[in-house]
Structure 1
Amino acid sequence: MYQFGSLPSLAAVADGVLTGHLWLTEYLAGGHLRFQMQPSGLLQFGDRTTVYDDPEALPPQYRLAVRSVREQFNREAFRSTDIDPSAVVFHGVATFTTGFAYDWDQLPPFVGHDVWVSDAEQYRPPDAVDTIFETLGLEAVNTIARERRARDFDPTTYTVPPSAWGDRTAAGVVVRNKTTGRGVIWPDTAPTSNVPHKTDLETLVTEFVTPACLDRIVATIAPPVTVEQLATRVHEHLWHEVFGSVIEVEPPVALDVIRQECRTYLAAD
């Protein structure tokens, strides 16, 4: 499955990027997630370095994004194209917290930014990416500017705008041309971290698993809702919104605490 390399700072690669017409998109904090449809119709997933035969084997902070893609991806629309599905790799961001706060009720668990077609040995152009992801039922990355002439663009005076997904400056802006050149403009100041300061696992879990949180997640599950279903979903959201890649906990321990909270919630319903 085709790998997507780490994005360099634009300052380091400006000569290879600032040519022709540029597209500017929001850089989203999280983890790289790629996937490909197999002949069977099943989706195979990978992070930046590893491809997994079992989607459940991905690290827990990726699982909400994986679930979202598996449930929303329009396989029939994809099969109706004249492209060999096995030749296409979709790339995007699993939007778990890395210390950067977003509006988690608005930001999708997965946001796509690139489509690789191995038959052509190239990425689809940026003006096609939005349409592709929309057609397949997935969200594409927020576009800030289209077709900006490189000769009129000065990255040294550019100010990173507010995020489309939170009340703060974006984590960065990806500048790309219509070939393979791309780099990131970072904001002048690092974002204030929302990493939990408390280290007691049970306290972190119980502070997250409130009745309002459970109401929100229950609304996404077809009834009847079981303790195990709800606990699994809450566990995914906890890693997505709180733990991410910024805290080390054993998932089974967190799940035990979550199960008890869910059991109490459903018993009172």
Structure 2
Amino acid sequence: MRSFPPLPDVRGSPAPDDLLDGHLWLLELIDGTGLRFSMDESGLLRFGGPETTYAGPEAVPIALRPAVGRVRERFDREALRGAVDDPEGVVFFGVATHHRGTDYDWDRLPPFLGTDVWIGPREETETGAFRPPDAAAAIFEGIGLGAVNAFEREVNGRDFDPETYAIPGSAWRDGPAAGVVVRNKRGGRGKVLAAGAATGAGERPREGDSDVPPLDDPEAIAAAYATEERIERVVDDLDRRKAGATVDAVADGVVEAVARETPVRFGAGGERADPDRVRAAVVERVRVVVDGR
């Protein structure tokens, strides 16, 4: 699967060659984890992160599973087959939105937002290429997925100074964006980070942080984050998708929501919460809500 294109920081260092020539698109930089996927001949979607591909659903990190679920639910396979001669040569790139230091309005922010589309060669004499930002946005719309939002389009590169550029307010939170992605139509790209942005840092929560329960106490994590509002939201989503709002399904959804929306990190190791123990603590809270509906 094609790798993510590099995205160098252009503030405080020379911009990549020719990036600021011509006209630019300025896109919101979303604080999350890169997610890429492609479709094989049978229609099966295969997913990968920034540095690996996932063998199956269980291999996807919990915080990224809502993004994978969104893509699987909405991806229009027939639209892709009708648009290109070789669907297997297309790789889609985007960001799985989850808490990495920036607190978004999680109810509004989609679990996945598209950023790039790579279309491979159709003939042996051709080479593949990333599509320009406007074309990529149209492709994502055509297959049923959203793309990152643009702050400005067709900005003359001579009028853009990354050193003095003021980061706009985010479309997905009450506050500034984590940064801005600068793109031109020849494939050039870079980023301008907001001052103090945690983008890409993947900071682990520390016990004793005022907003993070002790990671060795699943009951405390469940009490803090498996709220009735969050449980009801998962139930409503399952009902909307006619997926069956059983206690087990809702508990799985709540753990995924906690992984996506809160500072808690799941996995092995002393600085990460055990997902199975947290799920066990969540189940009884879910049962009370589900049985009471």
Could you state the TM-score of these two structures normalised by the residue count of structure 1?
Answer: 0.93
Per the alignment, residue 227 of structure 1 pairs with: 247
**Rounded Cα–Cα distance in structure 2 between residues aligned with 1:83 and 1:10:** 37
Per the alignment, residue 167 of structure 2 pairs with: 160
Q: Which amino acid aligns with 1:232?
A: D
**Rounded Cα–Cα distance in structure 2 between residues aligned with 1:143 and 1:202:** 41
1:179 aligned onto 2:194: no
Q: Which amino acid aligns with 1:259?
A: V
Number of residues of Structure 1 aligned to a counterpart in Structure 2: 269
Q: Which amino acid aligns with 2:15?
A: A
> Displacement, 1:201?
3.2
- Distance verdict in 2 for CA 1:2–1:190, change over 3 Å: closer
**Rounded Cα–Cα distance in structure 2 between residues aligned with 1:42 and 1:25:** 30
Q: Which amino acid aligns with 2:160?
A: F
Q: Structure 1, residues 9-61: CA drift from partner, whole Å, max 9, x if none?
A: 11335142111111110000010000001111110000001111213211111
8 Å Cα contact 2:101/2:263 also seen in 1: no
8 Å Cα contact 1:99/1:194 also seen in 2: no
Per the alignment, residue 71 of structure 1 pairs with: 73
**Rounded Cα–Cα distance in structure 2 between residues aligned with 1:231 and 1:135:** 33
Per the alignment, residue 284 of structure 2 pairs with: 260
Per the alignment, residue 106 of structure 2 pairs with: 104
**Rounded Cα–Cα distance in structure 1 between residues aligned with 2:265 and 2:139:** 29
Per the alignment, residue 215 of structure 1 pairs with: 232
- Distance verdict in 2 for CA 1:15–1:209, change over 3 Å: closer
Q: Which amino acid aligns with 2:96?
A: A
8 Å Cα contact 1:217/1:234 also seen in 2: yes
Per the alignment, residue 93 of structure 2 pairs with: 91
More helix, by proportion: 1
- Distance verdict in 2 for CA 1:77–1:132, change over 3 Å: same
Q: Structure 1, residues 193-252: CA drift from partner, whole Å, max 9, x if none?
A: 996432243222222212222111111113642111111111111111014658611211
**Rounded Cα–Cα distance in structure 2 between residues aligned with 1:55 and 1:243:** 23
**Rounded Cα–Cα distance in structure 1 between residues aligned with 2:63 and 2:221:** 16
1:248 aligned onto 2:268: no
**Rounded Cα–Cα distance in structure 1 between residues aligned with 2:87 and 2:14:** 32
Q: Structure 1, residues 142-186: CA drift from partner, whole Å, max 9, x if none?
A: 101111111121112110000000001100001111123211111
**Rounded Cα–Cα distance in structure 2 between residues aligned with 1:98 and 1:155:** 24
Gaps of 5+ in 1: none
Q: Which amino acid aligns with 1:76?
A: E
8 Å Cα contact 1:101/1:194 also seen in 2: no
> Displacement, 1:132?
0.7
1:39-50 maps to which residues of 2 (within 5 A)?
39-50=41-52
% identical equivalent positions: 43
Q: Which amino acid aligns with 2:213?
A: K
Gaps of 5+ in 2: 122-126, 206-210
8 Å Cα contact 1:61/1:244 also seen in 2: no
> Displacement, 1:264?
2.1
Q: Secondary structure at the match of 2:15?
A: helix
Question: CA RMSD of the aligned region, Å?
Answer: 2.1
Q: Which amino acid aligns with 2:184?
A: N
- After alignment, is 81-90 or 101-110 more displaced? 81-90
**Rounded Cα–Cα distance in structure 2 between residues aligned with 1:241 and 1:194:** 14
**Rounded Cα–Cα distance in structure 2 between residues aligned with 1:88 and 1:107:** 25
Could you state the TM-score of these two structures normalised by the residue count of structure 2?
Answer: 0.86
- Distance verdict in 2 for CA 1:108–1:122, change over 3 Å: same
8 Å Cα contact 1:28/1:93 also seen in 2: yes
